[in-house]
Amino acid sequence: MATAAALLLLILLIVFMLQNTTKVEVHLLGMAATISLGMALLIAAVGGGVVVAIAGVARVAQLRMNARRTRRGASDPEETRDGP
């Protein structure tokens, strides 16, 4: 089922790129390039996905470190003992 959904998404992506062949000028960090509109939007979407993935990985790492600290604190006998 997942393969069929991925194949359908790929077909829609190909149709989108074929329908958006108008050339556009793209500027980034002082550089300029002329590429098709479909390709420019695809690059922007992939770039956005990479940024979201990096943020997600950083957040998961942060949560794991916090959980590890919490587990270590709970297993430390001096911290779980009541006061004097």
Integer angstrom CA distances of residue 73 from 1, 12, 44, 59, 68: 45, 51, 44, 21, 9
Q: Say which range, 1-15, 49-63, 70-84, has the weakest mean pLDDT.
A: 70-84
Q: What's the rounded Cα separation, in Å, for the pair 48 and 12? A: 19
pLDDT one-digit tens code per residue, 2-29: 899 989 988 998 898 889 889 999 998 9
pTM for the model: 0.64
